[in-house]
Amino acid sequence: MARKILTAIDIGSFKITTVITSVEDGKNPTVIGVCSYPSKGIKKGVVINIDDATSAILESVSAAERMAGVTISDVFVSINGEQVTSLNNKGVVAVAGSEITIDDTYRAIENARTLSLPDNLYPIHIIPREFVVDAQGGIKYPIGMSGSRLEVETHIITAPSSYWQNIKKCVEQVGSNVYDVVFTAWASSLAVLTDTEKELGVTLLDIGAGTTGIAIFQEGSIVYSASIPLGGNNITSDIAIGLQVSLEDAEKIKLNLGNLFDNKFEGDRVREMDSTPALLRRKEVAKPKKTKGEEIDLNVIGIDKIVSKERTAKIVEARCSEILEMAKDNASKAGYEIAMPAGIVLTGGTALLRNITKFTQEMFGVAARIGTPSGLTGMVEEISDPSYACVQGLIKHALEDDVEVGGVGEKNKVDIGGIFGKIGEWFKSLLP
């Protein structure tokens, strides 16, 4: 098998990350190029300035291409924003022959797609949850089964056309073709959730800089997804106001909270923090002053100020509580609970905050863990923490591409890949 290049671009409100991978048959994708560049022209997941966003995307893509030694063409791109919504819908068709074929499943899924949506909304994902054959439910792959009636339960994620059109325009202006646009929380779920968690029931909260993505799974399938307009940037703003520091300094404080509270510093250098993106790490700092146990000397991160631990903790906890409560209320209005049997998985850059899992557990009374992405090989050192869950999930989505029909990019013009595609190829190979 010839080498295949898969490229993902996670367009966030804080950073834009491009990951280029090389894929060979039977092997995990190997990262050959990666770059994170500070985001511009993006606010709360939405393009607000096309020129600035295009410029930032170009910087990220160009650096990754230079590292990989390749020029990319088709890319998988993330999409987010509070107007990303979801619903569940059913599709029903009569089976054409005596056995269900891949074409029957396609028709059923497409039938589920024919629902009335506002003119400004577009279905970016149509994800099969389960199939029903002649009233027998719980079927994941019905191809080859006997039956006369095929139903499919689907989860449909929608977004305003302007959302993905503006993102598509920015990416195309840097010379790349958008093959598919993928909801951030859905991508992250592919990178950090286990099959067991999905089967038992689990909630993923992808807490980014400008937004928090929600994805709830039951019995192995996604049942609810949404995005709320709160994230790490709100915590940064609160720190800036509460501690009377600049936004830049507030961001440093937020990124270093764990070490600041636990006094994990050595001499005049901050310990390397694997949880902090490489481009944000600051090593050279002043020696800390002697302080009381209830105070923090910010000189260790280059800020000439002493602040109260208690006050700092209250500022951060108050905003974290608001984010979690809004996520809870958002899901509750749709008839779903955040507290699931397998607990809550936190990912995204804000999941790196000190004690956030403990805080979440106490708030909802269920287990909570940090979702750290894995599964890629090669140059993964810079993308191995929760803030890179989405971009790694985009690569897995590109690799598998087996769970949905539809999309907003070049994908509409090609056959469905992944499991459905492989099954279809196998089935057709048996025909005379």
Beta-carbon-side half-sphere exposure of residue 246 (alpha carbons within 13 Å): 6
> What is residue 118's predicted lDDT score, i.e. its pLDDT?
79
Cα–Cα distance measured from residue 6 to residue 72, given in angstroms and rounded to the nearest whole number: 8
pLDDT class for 279, splitting at 50, 70, 90? very low
Assess whether pLDDT exceeds 70 at residue 425: no
The set of residues, in sequence order, having a beta carbon less than 8 Å from that of 398 and lying 6+ positions away, is 6, 7, 8, 76, 179, 180
> What is residue 276's predicted lDDT score, i.e. its pLDDT?
39
Q: Which residue has the higher pLDDT, 182 or 282?
A: 182
Cα–Cα distance measured from residue 47 to residue 181, given in angstroms and rounded to the nearest whole number: 14
pTM: 0.86
> What is residue 113's predicted lDDT score, i.e. its pLDDT?
83
| Tens-digit pLDDT profile for residues 120-165 | 888 999 999 999 999 898 898 899 999 999 999 999 999 998 888 9
The overall longest dimension of the chain from CA atoms, in Å, is: 82
When pLDDT is averaged across residues 281-309 and rounded to a whole number, the result is 72
Cα–Cα distance measured from residue 365 to residue 362, given in angstroms and rounded to the nearest whole number: 5
The amino acid at 30: T
pLDDT class for 431, splitting at 50, 70, 90? very low
User: In this prediction, what percent of the chain has a pLDDT beyond 90?
Assistant: 68
pLDDT class for 277, splitting at 50, 70, 90? very low
| List of domains in the chain | 4-82+162-193+373-427 (3.30.420.40), 85-159 (3.30.1490.110)
End-to-end Cα distance, the chain: 26
> What is residue 372's predicted lDDT score, i.e. its pLDDT?
95
Assess whether pLDDT exceeds 80 at residue 293: no
Cα–Cα distance measured from residue 67 to residue 70, given in angstroms and rounded to the nearest whole number: 8
| Tens-digit pLDDT profile for residues 389-413 | 999 999 999 987 543 444 555 554 3
19: left (phi over 0), alpha (psi -120 to 50) or beta: beta
Among 250-254, 257-261, 368-372, the range scoring the smallest mean pLDDT is 257-261
Cα–Cα distance measured from residue 171 to residue 78, given in angstroms and rounded to the nearest whole number: 11
Beta-carbon-side half-sphere exposure of residue 155 (alpha carbons within 13 Å): 19
> What is residue 294's predicted lDDT score, i.e. its pLDDT?
86
Q: What is the distance, to the nearest Å, from the Cα of residue 104 to the centroid of all Cα atoms in its chain?
A: 31
pLDDT class for 258, splitting at 50, 70, 90? confident
Assess whether pLDDT exceeds 70 at residue 287: no
Q: How far is CA 75 from CA 137, 160, 397, in A?
A: 36, 20, 11
